[in-house]
Chain A
Amino acid sequence: MTSTKQLNKITLKGSAAIVSEFFFYGINNILYQRGVYPPEMFKQEKKYGLTILVTTDEGLLTYLKDNILPQLTAIVCNLTEWLEKGAVRRLVVVIRESETNETLERWQFEIQSDEEQKNSNNPPKPKDVNTINSEIRAVIRQITATVTFLPLLETPCSFDLLFYTDKNLEAPSQWEDSSACLITNSEEVKLRSFSTSVHRVDGAVSYKFSM
């Protein structure tokens, strides 16, 4: 029993690392594709068998790597604990107009843990890293492809990352409550999803629809 638990824990951590890495590249891809930051602020990097553009801006990198991703991995790692409480977690990339702070796009990624399946006697199906990577690749490709139908961001924009967490979660001091940044008149498109053997990430994008 203990050995299996340990095994699960290891896979959980590994899965969390995969998920957070996906978010790093996914967020970078969104920022580049949607033109939130100028193209000269990005450099090419090979990942998942794709060439993904990653920011070179120090401030942005520290924000993502020091503040967001560790927190994300922590949250993802703690998912099991929170799932017992019945909490649902999401990560939302909100693209806002800098001047008015109006939300123009929401990239929502719902993180579901497959713990329930695992706790029931069926052991989790071991999933090959290559298949996971191919799934992630499909998601990132789809994000890139969405540029064709999403409306052009004509005004200067910036982004924010929202976490849907358990209400009882004690957040670090630098974190604060936020609104959900909902878009009133929005169109929604569901994106592909991928799953490690432990986590499942469902993507969706909703954007301001104006005739």
Chain B
Amino acid sequence: MDEDKLSVYYTPDNTKVMRIMGDFTNFLNTQRRAAANRSSPFLSSIPFNIAKDETLQETSTEVVKPETALSNVEMMLKIKNMEAEFESVKKAQVKANIELESKVNQFFSENCHLKEKCDDLQFKVKQLTSKSLELIDETKSAKKEKNDEISKWESSYSQLHKVKQEADDRVANDLAMNANKNSQLQEENMNLKSHVNILELRLEEMSSHMEHFTNKINEAQEATHLHQQRETQIQELKRELRELTSRLSEAEDAEKMAKIFKEDLSRLRQLEIEYKRLVEENHKLRENQENAFLLNEKLLLAESKLDRAEERCAKMDNLEATNNNLLARLKSLDNNQSVTSKYNELSSQVLELRHMIEFLEERNATLESEHVILSKKYMSEKQEKTVLDAKLAEQQESSSSLSAQLIRLRKKAGLLAHERDSIRSILQSYDAELTSTSHTTQLSRRLQNSEDANRKLYFRIEQLENELQKSEEQKLFHKLRAKQLGGPEVYPSAVVCPTPSQCMKSENANDSELETLKVKIEEYEKERITMHDKIEHLETWIEQGRIKGDYNPENTKVLHFAMNPSALAHQKSKQDVAQLKADNTELRKKITELQQGHEVSISEVEISRTAKEQIARAELRNQRLKEIFSKKIQEYRQACYSLTGYRIDTSTDSRFKLLSMYAESESDCLLFEMKPDGTMQMLETEFSKSLEDLISLHLHHQNSIPMFLSALSISLFSQQTMMLE
């Protein structure tokens, strides 16, 4: 109370108080001097006086100053006491007044609260009543439904009852029927029993059959086993068949190859046949030649004999001439008959001469006969010679064919030599190009072998060539001989030509050699083909190797740029791997340490602990902030509600629902929407439709939402208060 007073009077001006305080001390001093032995109540009342002094400074200062009589003082004291009492009473009254006012206020607020509560309660009551009404309706409808259901049930019960009765009747009928049936069934049962007996008998039969069948089944199973085995066999056979077909295809290929070979062989055979034929012809020719030689000799002999006979014939002519002369002389002598002695002599001479003539005639006859024989022989020999000439021509033809063959063979030899050279060069190049050593040794061996073979072949070819030359020479000789035979018939000289037997021998030797050579040539041909194949194979191999990237390290080297991308990438990957490995080992160590549980470094523990603490703190802070925020929001909402009289809810984003404190129901709310630029816009609700006047006035004309809201709260408040009154 006192403080209130002071506050009331202090607040206007502090300086004034200070002055009063000075007056107050003066007054105290005077009081003490004037009445030193005065009782304490005076002193105790001083503060009140001071207070009063302070309150009534303008009046009291003038009154206190002069010093008067004790009565006055007493009176003054009494007055003051009275005043003080009055003041206290006044203060008490004021206090009471204030208390009363506060109480009134309290009551008023309580009243308000109560009113609100009452409103709420009324609202609730309304709701409840509406709900109760609804419930009553529901119960009524439910009752009706139930009644309907009950009636339905009853009707169904009656129906069921009827049904039950019917069923009972039926059951009775059925029972009777069943009894009849039972008897029938018993009879049937008897019958069935007899049947069963029969069936048992049959069963036994059947069991015997069964055994029979089981045996059969076993047999069948065995058969199936066999069948399966056979199937497996068939499958194997099929596999074999497939293999065989594959083999067949291979064989077909082989056959094709064989056909080609056969063709070659057939050609070879033809050649052989030709060769044989030629050899035979050669034989025949030789025989003919021999015959020709013999005949020639005979011819020569016959010719010499003929010459001699002719000479003798000439002599005979001479002798005849002499004889004639002598005969003439003899006649003359006869005529003369002069000398008989001479005649005798002459006659003897004539006789001798006659003998001589006879002898000569005989000889002449023989010679003539010989001449005839020789001429016949000559004719026959001429014929033989023509035959021989024809044969010679044939032989010449054959020899020309042989020479052609020879040329061919020479060509082949040349080709072979060329091929050998090429093979050697290829192999050399391959050798040079080949990098891997495993094949080089094999290849070098092969090369050597082929070279040896080639060398042999070459020698053989040379030999063949020599033989060929010889045979050609011989052929020439034979030609000459034939010409000699065809030309003037001269005795063959032993110097010019060897005897036919020698010729025969040499030709025989040539034939045998030729045959062997031919065989060898064939062999070499085959070898050549195989070598050719090998060369092709090796060439393809070398080509493949070249594609693969083989090179000859002797004359080639491989270069690359030192800082190539691959090297860099490899280096980087190595570094990465090393880094990862290091990390891995470190982490593994850590894991093992963690598993062991004690050797974790203190720093790590501290770090983890501090981190955990920080997390916990942050979480706690978050929690608190949430709580505070929710609290503050609640407070703020409450403050808004109590200050503005509107409860603001945010239903969706940027939409606000306002419900007035004085609203009649929860549905009497307003909806506002906030636009992106921050302005508010009112949305239409059921409640807002009833506020067209306010909206037109405050929103349309004044364009102020707060005004509209306050006007609305005023109107609602007035309505509420009216309702309460």
Contacts and interface: CB of A to CB of B under 8 A. Distances in A.
Given A63-B565, A159-B566, A178 B549 contact: no
Contacts of B717: none
A85 B555 CA distance: 9
A177 B548 contact: no
Contacts of B557: 164-167, 169, 177
Contact of A181 (B549, B556, B559, B562): B549
A163 interface: yes
B401 to A, nearest CB: 41
Contacts of A87: 555-556
Nearest to B546: A110
B559 A175 contact: yes
B550 to A, nearest CB: 7
B556 A160 contact: no
A30 to B, nearest CB: 13
Contact of B547 (A99, A166, A171, A190): A190
Interface in B541-567: 544, 546-551, 553-567
Contact of B558 (A63, A68, A180): A180
Given A106-B549, A188-B544, A206-B549, A179 B566 contact: no
A92 interface: yes
Nearest to B436: A182
A98 B573 contact: yes
A87 B567 CA distance: 27
A94 B565 contact: no
B566 A108 contact: no
A34 to B, nearest CB: 13
B566 A68 contact: no
Given A160-B565, A206-B549, 19 more contacts: A63-B563, A67-B563, A87-B555, A87-B556, A88-B556, A98-B569, A98-B573, A99-B577, A158-B566, A159-B566, A166-B556, A167-B553, A169-B557, A175-B562, A177-B558, A178-B559, A188-B544, A204-B547, A206-B547
Contacts of B572: 98
A201 to B, nearest CB: 14
B570 interface: yes
A176 B562 contact: yes
Interface in A80-127: 85-88, 90, 92, 94, 96, 98-99, 101, 106, 108, 110
A98 B546 CA distance: 26
Contacts of B46: none
Interface string B558-597: 1111111111111011000100000000000000000000
B569 A167 contact: no
Nearest to A85: B555
Interface of A: 59-60, 63, 67-68, 71, 85-88, 90, 92, 94, 96, 98-99, 101, 106, 108, 110, 156-167, 169, 171, 174-183, 186, 188, 190, 204, 206
Contact of B566 (A71, A160, A186): A160
A161 B563 CA distance: 11
Contacts of A175: 559-562
Contacts of A63: 561, 563-565
7 contacts: A71-B561, A98-B573, A101-B566, A157-B569, A175-B560, A175-B562, A178-B559
A165 B560 CA distance: 10
Nearest to B577: A99
Between B544, B558, B577, the greatest number of chain A beta carbons within 10 A of the residue's beta carbon is seen for B558
Contacts of B547: 108, 188, 190, 204, 206
Nearest to A183: B548
Given A190-B547, A204-B547, A206-B548, A178 B566 contact: no
A160 B549 contact: no
Interface in B287-302: none
A12 to B, nearest CB: 21
A182 B568 CA distance: 20
Contact of B570 (A96, A163, A178, A182): A96
B559 A162 contact: yes
Interface in B338-357: none
B549 A68 contact: no
A142 to B, nearest CB: 15
A2 B549 CA distance: 38
Contacts of A67: 561, 563
Interface string B452-475: 000000000000000000000000
Nearest to A98: B569
A98 B570 contact: yes
Contacts of A169: 557, 559
B549 A92 contact: yes
B554 A158 contact: no
B560 A182 contact: no
Contact of B554 (A92, A167, A171, A186): A167
Contacts of A166: 555-557
